[in-house]
């Protein structure tokens, strides 16, 4: 049947962090007064800067420091993940001397592992925040890292499908929860030794190379990057068997209108459909023959960053492209 099985996995190593408001020079502003009160100035966001909370033992949602906000989001997110009733996911936040590192990225320039696999950002989101405990275990029972974004007066953190939750939470909601569940001490314990690192604008030369590669990608190259992102083992297996094809909807009248596809030419589950719109790529797949088509969104720049940056990666991808067969070969052989 040459089926393609989708795998939706929770990235335990990358959970969601709290939002800092705006950079005084970036022009990116949080939508809420409570989040804006957690503003990180340009000088605060420099590499290796440390932002600590007050010595008070309470949290005020209208006066959160960036470090408090980050620790608060991590605690709240951990407490709302599946299995939290059986596992004390935030236990490591209470360890003596515990701290964290918060990295701030432009949402379209986040390294693999620090942000969502599926880029389902809410409207208005501009930045991605990644937080990791300095002394965490990340063994499945301790969710010691997180990522999140801020938009529309709310924080949106990592969900269980390696994307971003559709429903956010306000600072007031998170503080109320922490107060009612004795989480404030853990939050302040982490916040007092938290470092903020601004990663925006890093590696501009590499970004220039990414932009050039993005403009020059052929549909076959883009399809290969999409397949590597969605189902690398499936793609490589049938490619090595000589039964992996590239086509578009006009050629064989399959799939959504205007979409290209990568296929092993089996049943409906053996197709990955994709359509580019600028830097955005819409992906559609059937996850099981009795289920409807699933739609996902990624960015071209993200695919290039993860699979097409250095020369060895480019050589690998272009080698795969050379092995792809045009879907017209199927018609000729039948």
Domains of the chain, CATH where assigned: 33-202 (no CATH), 206-326 (3.30.1460.60)
Mean pLDDT score across all residues of the chain:
80
Provide the pairing of β-strand 260-263 with 245-248: antiparallel
pLDDT of residue 328: 82
Least confident of 13-17, 41-45, 202-206, 284-288: 41-45
Least confident of 43-57, 166-180, 297-311, 315-329: 43-57
**Helix (H) or strand (E) run with residue 250 in it:** helix 249-252
pLDDT of residue 148: 95
> Judging by beta carbons within 10 Å of its beta carbon (0-12, 13-18, 19+), is residue 47 exposed, middle or buried?
exposed
Measured distance CA(154)–CA(163) in Å, rounded: 16
240-287 tens-digit pLDDT: 999 999 998 766 677 888 999 999 988 888 999 999 999 999 999 987
Statement: residue 45 has pLDDT above 60? no
Alpha carbon distances (Å) from 249 to 124, 259, 291, 320 = 33, 6, 21, 21
Q: Which regions of the chain does DSSP assign to beta strands (E)?
A: 49-50, 100-106, 127-133, 145-151, 154-157, 194-198, 245-248, 260-263, 271-277, 280-286, 293-299, 325-326
222-239 tens-digit pLDDT: 999 999 999 999 999 999
pLDDT of residue 226: 96
Measured distance CA(252)–CA(30) in Å, rounded: 47
Q: What is the DSSP string of 162-175?
A: SSB-SS-B-HHHHH
Residue 38 binned pLDDT confidence (cut-offs 50, 70, 90) = very low
């Amino acid at each position: 049947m040459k089926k393609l099985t989708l795998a939706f996995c929770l990235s335990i190593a990358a959970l969601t962090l709290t939002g800092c408001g705006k950079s005084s020079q970036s022009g990116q502003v949080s939508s809420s007064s409570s989040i804006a009160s957690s503003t990180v100035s340009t000088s605060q966001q420099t590499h290796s800067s440390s932002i600590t909370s007050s010595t008070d033992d309470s949290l005020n949602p209208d006066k959160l420091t960036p470090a408090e906000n980050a620790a608060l989001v991590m605690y709240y997110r951990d407490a709302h993940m599946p299995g939290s009733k059986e596992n004390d996911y935030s236990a490591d936040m209470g360890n003596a001397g515990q701290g964290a590192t918060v990295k701030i990225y432009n949402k379209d320039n986040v390294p693999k592992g620090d942000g969502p696999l599926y880029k389902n950002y809410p409207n208005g989101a501009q930045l991605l925040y990644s937080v990791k405990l300095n002394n965490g275990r990340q063994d499945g029972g301790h969710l010691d890292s997180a990522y999140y974004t801020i938009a529309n007066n709310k924080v949106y953190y990592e969900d269980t499908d390696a994307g971003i939750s559709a429903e956010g939470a306000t600072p007031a909601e998170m503080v109320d929860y922490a107060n009612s569940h004795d989480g404030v001490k853990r939050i302040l314990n982490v916040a007092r030794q938290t470092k903020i690192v601004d990663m925006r604008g890093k590696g501009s030369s590499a970004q220039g190379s990414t932009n050039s590669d993005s403009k020059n990608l052929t549909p076959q190259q883009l399809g290969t990057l999409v397949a590597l992102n969605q189902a690398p083992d499936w793609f490589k297996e049938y490619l090595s068997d000589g039964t992996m094809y590239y086509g578009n909807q006009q050629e064989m009248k399959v799939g959504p209108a205007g979409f290209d596809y990568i296929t092993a030419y089996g049943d409906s589950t053996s197709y990955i459909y994709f359509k580019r719109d600028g830097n955005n790529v819409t992906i559609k797949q059937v996850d099981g023959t009795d289920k409807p088509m699933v739609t996902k969104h990624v960015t071209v720049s993200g695919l290039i960053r993860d699979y097409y940056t250095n020369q060895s990666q480019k050589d690998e991808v272009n080698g795969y492209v050379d092995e792809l067969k045009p879907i017209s070969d199927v018609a000729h052989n039948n």
